[in-house]
Chains A and B, each alone.
Chain A
């Protein structure tokens, strides 16, 4: 498999990263060289191997059901690029 300019357009849309025209050639070259590198894995037969998402053998524990004062709205809003009273401001979504 390889990545062409159309694929780059598609993944840049999925990743919400705009890619300028002049960046596309370089990105195409880099991404293809990375893909070629990772495709070495195809040499291995993994039919009978289970996939693992993590090596942790921790069972999930229950936390005590108690109220803690964290993430209060003033704190959360402190770093907002744009805000108004208790709201984050974004460009208009609905006409």
Chain B
């Protein structure tokens, strides 16, 4: 019998609907792999027994008509799940059990997907290597000469879990690249939808004007299916958009004829490894050979995107994370009075990177510095958005590499915040401009590590993005080379 965990999400569900396998068999296959994969440390919480019970219930119910019927899905531990611990990979929330469900995960369970666990990430989604998690490092299933590599971040547990076949698919969150960069490092597909496409309700907030949930999957069709399920207006999130749409999955087309693809010259950064530049040329060639029109474009303020992000994101974070005060939920450390209790709780409850960002955020918002930093960044954010608006008058999508390098070793960047931040140099613009973007695995470098390209789309035009990614996927025929060395 074929290994059920190797199938895509779309094919797993097809199998269940056609009764080629039961939900219990599918969930059972994943449970077995998860139990042998503790070494990767993908899971903050496993919910295996409940998952098997739910599978039995689905099998007993003759109706197998829901979009995700019987699919075991683990989600980033940033989505509140009713009665299942939700920690944001932080000590300060290490004992928090939500009494409600996030909108995005509720939509998954409404389609008969089955929660199988909560996935590790950087603490409060702040990081690019998953090294800031309170619950330890996640290992990338790909290694460099038998040496462990980071899975990327912040959705590192999500990325490794999909790549290692520990979940059929997952949902992560992306504030500056947290879906796309780890997807690139682990050879999977990661899609950040347009800001407002999915409800943020019930997701632990990091930077509210940038955060967006999205699919991380084995292939492009799986991403389309998950997006179909999780998107939509939600009255509990006033920034969620009420846009009519048909099914992304059913509308997918392998056709890029006449598609106008922009190549932004500013993304050719200094010191970009040759393998990444070659990869970019490969992508251009594939699209050109299939009838797309390639256009050189300019996004002149690209170099200012990361500095802008590192004012706006910490500013919003310092405000969002003010709620962790040791009073209403979460971890508390006592103090001699109320103020000291707050200060001790937050000092011991948050990790180094989170504290660093709260401090920077507090500083740039503080009296006397607000105009020089925060207001300035809000203006440059507008310039970056205008760059894209101008470019999209002439092109339909924009093609770039997802990351400047493939996955790196543990400890390589952790002592230098700026070096770590540079990981998001190609991804962060999509968040600032609110645009959809997808990371797609293309090939392996000479060391056997996955390399990925990124496509930006127009606002609320995920369909063109998915079509283009699907067309490239059909050409490159990227196959997993994960070797199960940890088992």
Give the interface of A toward B (CB within 8 A). Answer: 1, 3, 7-8, 10-12, 14-20, 27, 30-31, 33-35, 37-42, 44, 46, 49-56, 58, 60-61, 63, 70, 75-76, 78-82, 88, 90-93
Residues 88 to 114 of chain B near chain A (Cβ within 8 Å): 95-97, 99-100
Majority DSSP secondary structure for residues of B touching A: helix
A27 to B373, CA, bound (A): 19
Which residues of chain B have C-beta atoms less than 8 A from A91's C-beta? 334-338, 340-341
A10 to B359, CA, bound (A): 10
Q: How many whole Å from B126's CB to the nearest CB in chain A?
A: 13
**B95: nearest chain-A partner, CB-CB:** A79
A1 to B306, CA, bound (A): 19
In the complex, the 8 A-B pairs of residues with the closest C-beta atoms, listed nearest first = A55-B434, A51-B378, A79-B329, A81-B332, A46-B379, A18-B343, A75-B99, A38-B307
A82 to B332, CA, bound (A): 9
Do the beta carbons of A17 and B238 come within 8 Å of each other? no
Give the interface of B toward A (CB within 8 A). Answer: 95-97, 99-100, 195-196, 209, 235, 238-242, 301, 303-304, 306-308, 310-311, 318, 322, 325-332, 334-344, 346-347, 350, 355-356, 358-360, 362-364, 366, 369, 372-373, 375-383, 385, 416-418, 421, 432-434
25 pairs, A vs B, C-beta closer than 8 Å: A16-B325, A19-B347, A27-B359, A34-B418, A37-B306, A37-B310, A38-B307, A38-B310, A38-B311, A38-B364, A40-B307, A41-B308, A42-B376, A44-B304, A46-B383, A49-B379, A51-B382, A52-B381, A52-B382, A54-B195, A56-B209, A58-B242, A76-B99, A81-B329, A91-B336
Given A38, A44, A63, which contacts B373 in the complex, CB threshold below 8 Å? A38
A6 to B276, CA, bound (A): 44
A50 to B307, CA, bound (A): 18
Do the beta carbons of A55 and B238 come within 8 Å of each other? no
Given A17, A34, A56, which contacts B343 in the complex, CB threshold below 8 Å? A17
Most buried by A among B235, B318, B327, B334: B327
Which residues of chain A have C-beta atoms less than 8 A from B318's C-beta? 15
Which residues of chain A have C-beta atoms less than 8 A from B301's C-beta? 44
Do the beta carbons of A15 and B383 come within 8 Å of each other? no
A52 to B210, CA, bound (A): 12
Do the beta carbons of B327 and A81 come within 8 Å of each other? yes
Most buried by A among B307, B335, B369, B432: B307
Do the beta carbons of B341 and A55 come within 8 Å of each other? no
Do the beta carbons of B341 and A31 come within 8 Å of each other? no
Which residues of chain B have C-beta atoms less than 8 A from A30's C-beta? 356, 417
Do the beta carbons of B378 and A92 come within 8 Å of each other? no
Do the beta carbons of B380 and A41 come within 8 Å of each other? yes
Given B196, B304, B308, B369, which contacts A58 in the complex, CB threshold below 8 Å? B196
Q: How many whole Å from B233's CB to the nearest CB in chain A?
A: 9
Which residues of chain A have C-beta atoms less than 8 A from B363's C-beta? 3, 7, 11, 31, 35
**A64: nearest chain-B partner, CB-CB:** B235
Which residues of chain B have C-beta atoms less than 8 A from A55's C-beta? 195, 209, 385, 432-434
**B365: nearest chain-A partner, CB-CB:** A14
Do the beta carbons of A53 and B347 come within 8 Å of each other? no
Do the beta carbons of A90 and B366 come within 8 Å of each other? no
Which residues of chain A have C-beta atoms less than 8 A from B235's C-beta? 61, 63
Do the beta carbons of A76 and B356 come within 8 Å of each other? no
Given A1, A51, A60, which contacts B238 in the complex, CB threshold below 8 Å? A60
Do the beta carbons of A79 and B336 come within 8 Å of each other? no
Most buried by A among B303, B334, B363: B363
Given B311, B326, B362, B417, which contacts A15 in the complex, CB threshold below 8 Å? B362
**B235: nearest chain-A partner, CB-CB:** A63
Do the beta carbons of A33 and B417 come within 8 Å of each other? yes
**B376: nearest chain-A partner, CB-CB:** A41
Which residues of chain A have C-beta atoms less than 8 A from B385's C-beta? 52, 55
